[in-house]
Structure 1
């Protein structure tokens, strides 16, 4: 969580710097320089709020829970795969944690663009409440369950679509099943 806190601090400092930095336009009038200051429509403060919302809405141990779930999944594979599998088990969880941090960083400007400052503050207030904290604590479990559910639905859809498409248009040489071949 230290990484998330450091990223949040960097985002807040960057947002504060951005919000205090005015856009200027120079115009000449009577040989004097006139500076016109334009506000950023609150994007700086919204960016800080968006990152705060993301951090509290995914729960305090989101990255660790995802990492733990991945380690559990890799443990089911057992010791098969030798050196390569051992490397994956050792390296993938921390890489995943870094990816999650980058993903949250990338999501913050989207949230800041979509939600108003009041909407962000309202969501933050919710996630600071006992019910909101309970909801956030379940975010990783919910995300994993939804991902499993979506994967099954997408696989079923793609299998059905490919089968019907190839029946209609004769996909010669194309596989109509999702089973990997051993060619």
Structure 2
């Protein structure tokens, strides 16, 4: 019984600093709130709606049956929204540590303006287009890189090792 009491006391002493650190003071909480608002404006919120529109456009052009399209659009949109919310929460501390309060306040004021919202929408579209362009440019180069690798090294040995690992 004495051991249990000692363990409980040790845990309470060890956990005390952790609990004390987990509750930010008012200034830090304000900084975290600003970081979250910045992330929502630049990475979340309306962007999920915009990405849903892009999904609808893409899936509607796929020739997929309507029921499948609707399910995919809804499910992928919900998943994107969940991931964006989780990303904002995960990244909030990093943003607060990277930007000062005045920087976040200025950025938020800008991104809440009509020009700022327009820029965010355009950045999303351009990012999607850039990813498509990069993929198209990257694939032939990766194939060429694989060929160069196989000229330099024995790829047949790698294939055998990969088959052994798959077993």
Give the TM-score taking structure 2 as reference length. 0.65
For residues 86 and 112 of structure 1, the distance between their equivalents in structure 2, rounded to whole angstroms, comes to 38
The 3-state SS of whatever aligns with 1:77 is coil
Cα-Cα RMSD: 3.1
Query: Is 2:131 the partner of 1:131?
Result: no
Which has a greater percent of helix? 2
**Structure whose residues are more often strand by fraction:** 1
1:26-56 deviation per Cα after TM superposition (whole angstroms, max 9, x unaligned)? xxxxxxxxxxxxxxxx543221111111122
TM-score (norm 1): 0.60
1:20 aligns with 25
Q: How does 1:31-50 map to 2 (within 5 A)?
A: 43-50=28-35
Instruction: Work out the CA distance in 1 between the residues paired with 2:73 and 2:121.
Output: 25
Runs of 4+ residues deviating >3 angstroms: 82-90
Tell me, yes or no, if the aligned pair for 1:79 and 1:85 is still in contact at 8 Å. yes
Mark the runs of 5 or more structure 1 residues left unpaired by the alignment: 1-16, 22-41, 176-183
Deviates more, 1:64-73 or 1:83-92: 83-92
Correspondent of 2:91 among 74, 95, 107: 107
Match of 2:78 among 91, 94, 106: 94
Q: Could you list the runs of 5+ residues in structure 2 that have no partner in the other structure?
A: 1-21, 160-167
Partner of 2:101: 117
